Amino acid sequence: MAIQDIYPTALRLLGRPVLVVGGGPVAARRAKGLLDAGARVTVVAPVASDALRELADSGLLTWEPRTYVSTDVDGVWFVQTATGVADVDAQVAADAEAQSIWCVNASDHESSAAWTPAVAVVDDVKIAINAGGDPRRAMALRDAVATALETGDLPLRRRRASAGSVALVGGGPGDSGLITVRGRRLLGQADVVVADRLGPRELLHELAPDVRVIEVGKTPGHHPVPQVEINRILVDEALAGHRVVRLKGGDPYVLGRGGEEAEFCRQNGVEVEVVPGVTSAISVPAAAGIPVTHRGLAKGFSVVTGHEELSEVPARPDHTVILLMGVAKLRESATALADSGMPLDTPVGIVENGYMPEQRVTIGTLATIAEQAEATGVANPAVIVIGDVVRVSPFAPEHFKTADYSTLTPNKPRVTAP
């Protein structure tokens, strides 16, 4: 059978009788697929596999433990052969043909009246692929298409009206490769994207031309779209029937006001999904080779957004302090930590534009970092890391290195080089 002879369609078998002839693994797979479609399945086979027996014992299908007879096809809508015996499958196919019933002949795809495609389901989309009768080729193509849909490389966006929804998507520190697979997929389904300044901006250029992008980005001290207005935009767009993605930098629930947005959506009857993101508090230091914890150096860390909270965190080099949005108040923050007992020679690292081409790392001490930042023009977006973990960074000067911060000899006391 040439590929041109195929007319692709989809059968709606809910509540309709179908017949599976055969009792092995192939028959079990086909029976399960037909049950998933809502069909009333009868299996005819002298012996049934354990999988088929379980389906029969649970009442999901009917098993006739005998050999096939021609009257078995009477009154059914669809037939699947899977006996593994070519002559039997051919007889079933001939009986079905005589009654104008579509039949898949598993023993002879060339003469089969119908083919079973390789199938995958992504959300409410079902992918079915035939590949010239080559099942392995069809499965490979199916997997590739399914992966592209799952990662957002192919659009899953609905084109017909549906109930609106909001997804709060953490986009990570800015690099388009660091968004989650789920976040990428939802972005590909969006009708409206409400975008932050620090999210993965490159992905906005890949959206369909009719996807609306609403810019609500903030900079320190400048909030052109107040949070109350952002909340209103999300709800209004969703109630208009749109799929809305609130694309944020980092993680929506780590100093991203995602909790407020989710609460407002639910209060107004809007379905909301929260998709975690790679928070800049951890990922941006990693871009400069700085772990927020490291055996022998630090067992815990605190994330704060301003010097006011610093009196409440442990003022020790072995407890990492991460400052977000802290460039403007860096001098005050350093003073606050020193006043709380943090040694002035504690290492400090500032990572600007983490993972981006313009990334820059500045390393100093609690005593010197403010002057260094001012002299070099450090600017947001930047993450400030305070603590002994900065010593691990490959950007740290040699005299910052410790005699031992390795996990290979973790019980050896750490000695700071002079």
CATH number of the domain to which 310 belongs: 3.30.950.10
Residue 243 lies in a domain: yes
Q: Which residue among the candidates 196, 248, 251, 388 is catalytic per the annotation?
A: 196
List the CATH number of the domain containing 45: 3.40.50.720
R_g (Cα) of the chain, nearest Å: 31
Domain that residue 384 falls in: 282-400
For residues 395 and 290, state if they share a domain. yes
For residues 255 and 181, state if they share a domain. yes
- Find residue 301's DSSP bridge partners: 320
Residue 410 lies in a domain: no
Count of the separate structural domains present in the chain: 4
DSSP, collapsed to helix, strand or coil, labels residue 18 as: strand
Does the active-site annotation cover 251? no
The overall pTM is greater than 0.75: no
Tell me: pLDDT of 345 over 90: yes
User: Per-residue DSSP letters for 281-331?
Assistant: HHHHHHHTT--SSBTTTBSEEEEESSGGGGGGS--STTEEEEEES-STTHH
User: What tens digit of pLDDT does each residue of 182-217 get?
Assistant: 999 899 889 999 999 888 999 999 888 899 999 998
pLDDT score for 402:
65
Report residue 290 CA to chain centroid gap. Answer: 26
Residue 28 lies in a domain: yes
For residues 112 and 126, state if they share a domain. no
Does the active-site annotation cover 218? yes
For residues 269 and 311, state if they share a domain. no
Residue 405 lies in a domain: no
Q: For residue 158, what pLDDT band results from cuts at 50, 70 and 90?
A: low
For residues 182 and 232, state if they share a domain. yes
Residue 160 lies in a domain: no
User: What tens digit of pLDDT does each residue of 381-391 get?
Assistant: 999 999 999 99
What does pLDDT average to over the chain?
A: 88
Q: Which of these ranges, 31-45, 222-236, 394-408, has the smallest mean pLDDT?
A: 394-408
List the CATH number of the domain containing 248: 3.40.1010.10
Q: Which residue among the candidates 143, 153, 218, 404 is catalytic per the annotation?
A: 218
The pairing of beta strand 347-352 with beta strand 382-386: antiparallel
For residues 67 and 123, state if they share a domain. no
For residues 139 and 224, state if they share a domain. no
pLDDT score for 410:
45
For residues 289 and 218, state if they share a domain. no
Do 273 and 167 meet the contact criterion of CB atoms below 8 Å apart? yes
For residues 91 and 127, state if they share a domain. no
For residues 302 and 380, state if they share a domain. yes
